[in-house]
Amino acid sequence: MRSLACNVAGIDFKNPLVMASGTFGFGQEYAQYYDINQLGGIASKGLTLHPRPGNEGTRIWETASGILNSVGLENPGVDAFLQEEMKFWEKIEPVKIANLGGSTIEDYVLGALKITKDAEDRRKLNRLAVDMIELNISCPNVKEGGMAFGIRTEVAREVIREVRQVTSLPLAVKLSPNAENVVGMAVMCEEEGAECVSLVNTFSGMKIDIYGRRSVFQNTYAGLSGPAIKPIALRMVHQVAQAVTIPVMGMGGISSSEDIIEFIMAGAEVVQIGTYNFMNLRAGEDLLNGLTAFMEKENINSLDEIRGIIS
């Protein structure tokens, strides 16, 4: 019997396929194309304490083998997520990960408190609830003059320490590849009691309109994702997996089942699929079939046989 089962922080995933934040909404639209109950998990669109309209102007720019995005965390806010989107999430099987952002530490703490209380209340009624919080520390820290929390280890430490104190839910911290030291950041997350790290978020990039003589993006820079970033993301996942004992959710440019195997061999416990959801609306189903076929062909019974085998 072949098994794709994985475990992160005591939570069982039926397989390693998790849909990445911001690329799958809350899953409802993709449910028209395939049975999303096949998925291991879903990370919500990045939530903030208050609703955000997102950025003006160009939001997505296609590049060679990837996209630049400047969505600006458009989202309905934590309260609307809990009241509205949870109605759908309560009915689906994949592990439910609430991706949480914030511009101040207070925002993160209040958001985490609300999500945690809601999950505890639902569980008391034997209802399905958010299983895990994924802290997106790539948001600009308004108090630090706009620099993202996720760049400097000691600034990120404060956010994680405060959130850790207010939530009973397993905590994953989503790392930015733009961090001054991504391995040091991951080690700090483990020290502060995070149960998991996920990486990578998008790489800071740029596109210039040479006729208009300006950046095409309102905020000058935007985040690069997709196949273009995969080799760098894979290297970072490998380095982080070797440096921490907590599980790693690996992502960055995955667009085939072979890519997933590479991330698992590099040490990822589970993987997240982002931009590929825009290239293939049935990405989850196709990748799962590819993964099963690879295991058959290579006579692999469990992903543990190949996880982290690259030293």
Ligand X SMILES: Cc1cc2nc3c(=O)[nH]c(=O)nc-3n(C[C@H](O)[C@H](O)[C@H](O)COP(=O)(O)O)c2cc1C
The count of chain residues that interact with ligand X, using the rule CB under 6 A, is 26
Work out whether 103 is an interface residue with ligand X (CB under 6 A): no
Cβ–Cβ under 8 Å, residues 59 and 69: yes
167, containing H or E segment: none
H or E element: which one contains 221? strand 221-225
* Member of 109, 229, 237, 270 binding ligand X (CB under 6 A): 229
Structure tokens at 6: 């994985």
**Which parts of 39-58 interact with ligand X (CB under 6 A)?**
45-46
State the nearest-atom distance from the C-beta of 207 to ligand X, in Å: 14
For position 202 contacting ligand X by CB under 6 A, the verdict is yes
Beta strands 41-43; 132-136: pairing state: unpaired
Residue 21 touching ligand X (CB under 6 A) = yes
Asked whether position 18 contacts ligand X by CB under 6 A, the answer is: no
Q: Whole-angstrom Cα distance, residue 223 to residue 285?
A: 26
Please give the single-letter amino acid code of residue 59: R
User: Site residues for ligand X, window 242-271 (CB under 6 A)?
Assistant: 251-254
212 is in an annotated binding site: no
Nearer to ligand X, 133 or 229 (CB): 229
Q: x/- contact string, 133-172, with ligand X (CB under 6 A)?
A: ---x------------------------------------
Residue carrying structure tokens 């879903």: 42
Q: Which long-range contacts (CB under 8 A, 24 or more apart) does 215-220 make?
A: 216/57, 216/58, 216/61, 217/55, 217/57, 217/58, 217/61, 217/68, 217/70, 218/55, 218/56, 218/57, 218/58, 218/70, 219/55, 219/70, 219/72
Numbered residues of the known binding site for FMN: 21, 45-46, 99, 136, 174, 200, 226, 252-253, 274-275
Interacting residues with ligand X (CB under 6 A): 20-23, 45-46, 67, 69, 71, 73, 99, 136, 174, 201-202, 225-226, 229, 251-254, 273-276
